[in-house]
Structure 1
Amino acid sequence: MKAVRGTKDITPDEVYKWQYVESIAKDVFENFGFREIRTPIFEHTELFIKGTGETTDIVQKEMYTFTDKGGRSLTLRPEGTPPVVRSYLENNLSAEMPVTKLYYIGPMFRYERPQAGRFRQHQQIGAEIIGSSSPYSDAELISMYLHFVSKLGIEDVKLHLNSVGCAKCKPDYNLALKDYAKKHFDSLCETCKDRLDRNPLRMLDCKVESCREIFASGPVILDYLCDDCRKHFDIVIKSLNMLGLQYNINPFLVRGLDYYTKTVFEVTARGLGSQDAIAGGGRYDNLIEELGGKPTPALGFGSGQNRLIATMEAQNTPFADPPVTKIYIAPLCESAFPKAFEIAFLLRQKGVSTEIGLDGRSLKSQMKTADKLRAKYVVMIGEDEINKGFVTIRDMVSGEQEAVDFQIVIDVLTKK
């Protein structure tokens, strides 16, 4: 039996990397005033149809949807924002404070072709600011993410920015884009032809080179922004300049979700080839109202933890050292097990990382195990030790050994 295609086990030898990235995320996000939220991994399918967008590739092609025994249509969450918004509304989090800042870490599920840095179950790290229309919130969110990847040690990071306008100015651009696309209709790929009437902005996200060349000479959305969207985007840019953060304005960046308004951004890094995006996000000022709440401005991002780790590995970025066992206790005879078990229990109560050999193997075999665990000290207890009331402690670095009386062994080991 093997793991399902598109999924990946995270074994004990690798899990410390995930714990390290998550710990940095929590430290940085909480330093910026964000609080953690945890939502169920499955939701009513309607949440994603309304929230993510019925015409998106996610809803059309990539969701894991099933009918439960009660006849309800449920979906494993493909992204984090709609569940967080649903929870925000259901639990009335707006009553706690006018601006709610949340972050989450958890698995997402999308049925897509597995490739480097892309899985059908992937771990996502994300953050949302709900209740603020200020462009400074956009800059705060972006700067927080860049600070996070900087703390991870990821290099060659690039920030790509755009504004997709609002309900006031986006229709004019959509019309201009559709008129332009119709002039080149025969040269468009089938996907762009399908998107022309259903979701014209998504044509700009096409990966087919011939389509990209066509739209590179087409109308630019920044030329169609209303005064409010233009002012908002200008302040975001000025704020990033003030913070000394570099960016690239990409007028064809639209992101793959229908709910975005005004600022959108993407972060890329060297290491994953063509699949170099490690995060994406933007503002979604209409989403909360569409999901049944009052008109509430909001913004957020999602970052694939799988991609972050793959990028760090490709760049040879060091992770924190994996946890080590400080003490390994090796009972060498049947009569040694009670004392070995007692010592292990007392050390663990004092917070000392301790492992014990409970399977009666030879000293040589147990020493190999201790070495694999990178134990600093091995406590050996054989018949001679039991009869004389002491243990033998071996320093695994120097190889030196000392005999320590049962009465003081806990104090000696906790001070090492």
Structure 2
Amino acid sequence: MVQEPQSFHEFMPDKVWKWKILEEKVEKVLSLHDFQEIRLSVLQDSQVLQDGITALIQGQEADTAMKGVLSLSLPDDQLSLLSLRPEGTISVLHHTARITNPGEIHRFYYSGPMFRRINNQQQMEFYQLGVELLGSESILSENEVISLGMKLCKTLGLNEVRLDLNSYGCFTCRESFFSDLNKYLEEHKSEYCNSCYRELSTNPFSQVHCANPDCKKSLQEGPHIYDYLCNSCKTDFNKVQKIQANLGNQYKVNPNLNKNFAYYNKTVFDFIAKHKGKEIIIGGGGRYDYLSALITGKRIPAVGFYLNLDSIFEIMESRGLFEEKDPEFTVYICAESPNLEMMTLQIVQELHSQQIKTIISPECRPAEKEIAIAKKKDCPIMLILRDDNIREGKILLRNLVKEEQKYISLRDTLPSIMLAKKAMQS
């Protein structure tokens, strides 16, 4: 990640318009690939999450893996049955298992806040996009998903993005790898910090973030699953590389590519971008054909990825990739006399019937102050209501672009505004 959030998100208008641009671009690309949006609850069943996260690990190691999940607690510190979602894949599989039939293909995506603990202590919220293709174990589905992730990154302006690829093999490949890795960890235990040793013992594919040079060195020198792949897994992995190369996607085989969750098999990947002179992971994913059967009893081959939207947003903002649209034509309406609420709202209602945006001043203030506010809000037109004018059936229309004003008939308010809008947009 680019940075670790220190608190929960609060997006204000100066950021929200940028988020909408990012989200609209993402949704447009996904719709071209026939991915359907689904909306998952932020609250998840703790037991369902535990079954998924610990699907391939047991005992104390499973308890360690669950410490990153933010669960809700009762006053007596007993854990409730609910947790804040740390990811979306497990929930998607549970929902899909209830609706899918053999042979069906489902393309889903979702986005929103996820929650985890950093180093089992600090609470962290982050925004994430999840994309899942369910029901196929073909090489084509794998490459469709990987290519889609690359296309999304490039559409958002991250043209230098590249792939890191690895393979976690199948159960046959893993048996020898796990055995040799456990022996290696035990023999080199003194070279690892407690945290890294515990994480790798829990999940051999764990994505450890350690600055200790001894840990890094030992990790690189130790066994890698890439060297244990069976002939079938090697053939499939070579196909993935060939297809991505022919699609023009830059990639690198990275035997040290690891993941936080142990449920992946075969191809795994990361999306790498540059930010502030460094290469960072902005997303990633892989195939997880075994997971559904382990947690739902129903086999659903699947492949998917996530994109860290916080990281991508920060990169886009630093590169000036958010272009603010020209201000929408907006009419500023104010009353300089009391008891004109009904008239004000009637005028607003009439303007809204023609999709004309308005800003209402809720206070009675001097004209100079109202004009200053209207200009600050980029409103080209003002309507000023005064009690004596209303009694005469007229209203003051001020053009803030030309710095001129005139009285118009109340019944001509909408036509006059429409005419002013047409003149300013021509």
TM norm structure 1: 0.88
SS at match of 1:392: strand
Distance 1:203 1:71 in 2: 27
SS at match of 2:396: strand
1:102 to 102, 108, 112: 108
Tell me what 1:246 maps to: 250
Tell me what 1:76 maps to: 84
Instruction: Render the CA deviation track for 1:207-249: whole Å, top value 9, x for unaligned.
Output: 5332222222333322211222222222221221121111121
2:284 to 274, 280, 284: 280
Equivalent runs, 1:325-340 vs 2, <5 Å? 326-334=330-338, 336-340=340-344
Instruction: Render the CA deviation track for 1:70-89: whole Å, top value 9, x for unaligned.
Output: 98521111111111111112
Tell me what 2:72 maps to: 66
Distance 2:349 2:139 in 1: 55
Tell me what 2:11 maps to: 10
Distance 2:64 2:107 in 1: 26
Distance 1:360 1:306 in 2: 42
Aligned length: 409
Structure 2 vs 1, CA of residues 119 and 242 (structure 1 numbering), >3 Å: closer, same or farther?
farther
Tell me what 1:38 maps to: 39
Tell me what 1:223 maps to: 227
Matched, 1:148 2:149: no
Instruction: Render the CA deviation track for 1:32-74: whole Å, top value 9, x for unaligned.
Output: 1100111111121111111122647984322221356998521
Structure 2 vs 1, CA of residues 377 and 30 (structure 1 numbering), >3 Å: closer, same or farther?
same
Distance 2:367 2:221 in 1: 74
Distance 1:366 1:347 in 2: 20
Instruction: Render the CA deviation track for 1:152-196: whole Å, top value 9, x for unaligned.
Output: 223432321111111121122222333333443221221233245
Shift of 1:205: 6.4
Matched, 1:165 2:169: yes
Tell me what 2:382 maps to: 378
Distance 1:396 1:242 in 2: 57
Matched, 1:367 2:371: yes
CA contact (8 A) 1:335 1:386 kept: no
Distance 2:291 2:383 in 1: 60
CA contact (8 A) 1:202 1:254 kept: yes
Which deviates the most, 148-157 or 384-393? 384-393
Q: CA RMSD in A?
A: 3.0
Distance 2:337 2:119 in 1: 54
CA contact (8 A) 1:159 1:265 kept: yes
Structure 2 vs 1, CA of residues 145 and 370 (structure 1 numbering), >3 Å: closer, same or farther?
farther
CA contact (8 A) 1:205 1:255 kept: no
Tell me what 2:139 maps to: 135
2:93 to 85, 97, 101: 85
Distance 1:402 1:305 in 2: 49
Aligned AA (1:361): R
SS at match of 1:150: helix
Tell me what 2:424 maps to: none
CA contact (8 A) 1:56 1:256 kept: no
Matched, 1:22 2:28: no
Aligned AA (1:240): Q
Aligned AA (1:297): P
Tell me what 1:259 maps to: 263
Structure 2 vs 1, CA of residues 176 and 279 (structure 1 numbering), >3 Å: closer, same or farther?
same
Shift of 1:119: 6.9
Tell me what 2:400 maps to: 396
Which deviates the most, 370-379 or 294-303? 370-379
Distance 1:322 1:41 in 2: 35
Aligned AA (1:177): L
CA contact (8 A) 1:39 1:87 kept: no
CA contact (8 A) 2:62 2:202 kept: no
Aligned AA (2:240): V
Distance 2:326 2:109 in 1: 25
Shift of 1:293: 3.6
Aligned AA (2:255): P
CA contact (8 A) 1:324 1:373 kept: no
CA contact (8 A) 2:105 2:133 kept: yes
Instruction: Render the CA deviation track for 1:286-324: whole Å, top value 9, x for unaligned.
Output: 111111142221011122222221121222322443875
Instruction: Render the CA deviation track for 1:360-396: whole Å, top value 9, x for unaligned.
Output: 2222222233233322322222345424433333333
SS at match of 1:126: strand
1:354 to 351, 354, 358: 358
Structure 2 vs 1, CA of residues 378 and 56 (structure 1 numbering), >3 Å: closer, same or farther?
farther
Instruction: Render the CA deviation track for 1:117-161: whole Å, top value 9, x for unaligned.
Output: x97122211111110111222221122222222222234323211
Structure 2 vs 1, CA of residues 333 and 100 (structure 1 numbering), >3 Å: closer, same or farther?
same
Structure 2 vs 1, CA of residues 51 and 414 (structure 1 numbering), >3 Å: closer, same or farther?
farther
Aligned AA (2:108): L
Aligned AA (1:224): Y
1:296 to 290, 293, 300: 300
